[in-house]
Structure 1
Amino acid sequence: MNADLDLRKLRYFVAVADTLSFGRAAEQLRIAQPVLSRQIRALEQELGTQLFVRDTRGTELTDNGRLLRAEVQPLLASAAAVRRRVAIAARGEDVFTVGFMPGLTVTGAVRTFRRGAPEVDVRVMRTGWEDQVAVLHDGRADVSYLREPFDGAEVRTVFLHDEPRVVMLPSDHPLAGTDQVTMGDLGSEELLQDPAAVPEWSGSAPSRRAGDGSAKRRSRTVEEKLELVAGGAGVAILPLSTARFYRRLDVRFVAVTDLAPTAVHIAWEASRASARIAAFVDAARADVAPL
């Protein structure tokens, strides 16, 4: 890719690629559609290839367009990260941000880190399964606590600990009063989260309902999952610490004996190396406590 490519053109390209509509992309970008079309043509000329096919049926990506869409995101995220860090420095702020998944407690590591760097403004931000790694790439966080599975490309990680996963059931569910269940016991249930977050779900029983039904009611946050579970819409698989943190009377969690534990890691962007990141990683490792 040409190092002189205009990031603005690439953002315009992403908007069209994701909407497959020059009109909708122009609305999102708040620019005139003819301007957007000219910018895309200019990008195609710079790259020497056609990125979109437009006909009476609509707009489609070419093979090279799909390749660019896959390749461009890290570049845009890196640019966003640089802008954020420079903006913080320009304001005279000394900030270190820690991302963490629901259920994880980072207080101990933050306190240890602050003792060694009292001048630093340490901030924390809650992440989710979809953005736990993205916050590193786009600069929203300096380090992030990750739960498997995650995309480890372009990040460095240090393993912290394992923790069991449990199934969340409505309190009146026939299995809610048991001490433990197996994946087979859950064969008729609907999973209320992205199946990619629980690879074993579809792998252990191809007939499981983790597609059509759950896709319509798939939830992003723990709170949404538990509301749906309590209402009898399906079940959710969560780490034990998350289940304990979000206790409620109308939902019960039960151990799943044949579901492997999930691993927790501390991670940072591979291209970044600093004494502060190393110090926080050491603090995180020292803060590991048994569940």
Structure 2
Amino acid sequence: MQPDNTPFRLGFVTGATPDKWAARWRERHRRPLELVPVEETDQARVLAEDAVDMCLVRLPVTGDDLHVVRLYDEQPVVVVADEHVVTAVDEVTLADLADEQLVTDPDLVPGWAATSTVERLDWPAMTPREAVEVAASGAGVAILPLSVARLLHRKDAAHRPVVDLAPTTVALAWKRDRDDDWTQEMVGIARGRTSRSSRR
């Protein structure tokens, strides 16, 4: 690959952990790597606007002009106040949460509308951190990917797996017109290819 002194910008959504890949990149290349935190609601926008070269996204991500490489799945969990009844069990189902106020976006929780038995309050849109704060207060519950719940953990909150929810998927995404040797190098690092292994 040709030398390049401009930073390669890798975006990552909350909960994704690119540090290991960044270390491998820096071991192999002199080209600077810039890690750019991205809110999940902004992941499609930063790609469309070329604010990053690639992004660790949480599927689905919109955009017909994107390459997407799935990396790993995550278990969804419910975040509750530390004295909530849910903390007495090791795992829950959606039905166990049917009478709870969901503070995160119900459209992101398949089956919630059909399961819930209470009228949802008019909650404003929240970042994951805000949703965890509200859940910790006891006013409602939040359903988030496990890595996000771990990252935002508080002493006054707890989380449990929601076993009948499909996993969420973390993937690498980039625009087709930005597909070059550098993006493929990052794909290889994320997939565990060594510096000596073939891209094929």
User: TM-score scaled by structure 1?
Assistant: 0.61
The structure-2 alpha-carbon separation of the partners of 1:209 and 1:153, relative to structure 1 and needing over 3 Å to count, comes to: farther
Deviations 1:119-159 (A, max 9, x none): x2211111122111211111111111111233242211111
Deviations 1:195-240 (A, max 9, x none): 23223322x4265545xx1x43331x22211111111221111111
User: What CA distance in whole angstroms lies between the structure 2 residues aligned with 1:178 and 1:217?
Assistant: 29
State yes or no: 1:143 paired with 2:54.
Answer: yes
Match of 1:205 among 112, 115, 122: 115
User: What CA distance in whole angstroms lies between the structure 2 residues aligned with 1:151 and 1:196?
Assistant: 15
Partner of 1:244: 150
The two structures, once aligned, show a CA RMSD in angstroms of 2.0
Match of 1:285 among 191, 194, 197: 191
Say if 2:11 and 2:36, in contact at 8 Å, map to a contact too: yes
Letter in 1 for 2:62: D
User: TM-score scaled by structure 2?
Assistant: 0.87
User: What CA distance in whole angstroms lies between the structure 2 residues aligned with 1:166 and 1:262?
Assistant: 11
Say if 2:97 and 2:116, in contact at 8 Å, map to a contact too: no
Q: Radius of gyration: which is bigger?
A: 1
User: What CA distance in whole angstroms lies between the structure 1 residues aligned with 2:190 and 2:161?
Assistant: 27
Local SS of the residue matching 2:27: helix
Local SS of the residue matching 1:189: coil
State yes or no: 1:234 paired with 2:140.
Answer: yes
Partner of 1:188: 99
Local SS of the residue matching 1:175: helix
User: What CA distance in whole angstroms lies between the structure 2 residues aligned with 1:172 and 1:184?
Assistant: 20
User: What CA distance in whole angstroms lies between the structure 2 residues aligned with 1:168 and 1:274?
Assistant: 40
Q: In the comparison of the two structures, how many residue pairs are matched?
A: 190
Match of 1:257 among 139, 157, 163: 163
Partner of 1:103: 15
Partner of 1:128: 39
User: What CA distance in whole angstroms lies between the structure 2 residues aligned with 1:144 and 1:239?
Assistant: 17
Letter in 2 for 1:265: A
Letter in 1 for 2:54: V
User: What CA distance in whole angstroms lies between the structure 2 residues aligned with 1:173 and 1:282?
Assistant: 43
Letter in 2 for 1:153: D
Instruction: Give % identity.
Output: 34
Letter in 2 for 1:162: D
The structure-2 alpha-carbon separation of the partners of 1:100 and 1:161, relative to structure 1 and needing over 3 Å to count, comes to: same
Cα offset, 1:271, TM superposition = 2.2
Aligned ranges for residues 149-160 of structure 1 at < 5 Å?
149-160=60-71
Aligned ranges for residues 31-46 of structure 1 at < 5 Å?
none
Say if 2:103 and 2:123, in contact at 8 Å, map to a contact too: no
User: What CA distance in whole angstroms lies between the structure 2 residues aligned with 1:196 and 1:132?
Assistant: 17
Which is worse superposed, 125-134 or 249-258? 125-134
Cα offset, 1:112, TM superposition = 1.5
More helix by percentage: 1
Say if 1:133 and 1:144, in contact at 8 Å, map to a contact too: no
Cα offset, 1:245, TM superposition = 2.0
Local SS of the residue matching 1:130: helix
- Bigger RCO of structures 1 and 2 (CA < 8 A, at least 6 apart): 2
The structure-2 alpha-carbon separation of the partners of 1:250 and 1:155, relative to structure 1 and needing over 3 Å to count, comes to: same
Unaligned stretches of 5+ residues in structure 2: 194-200
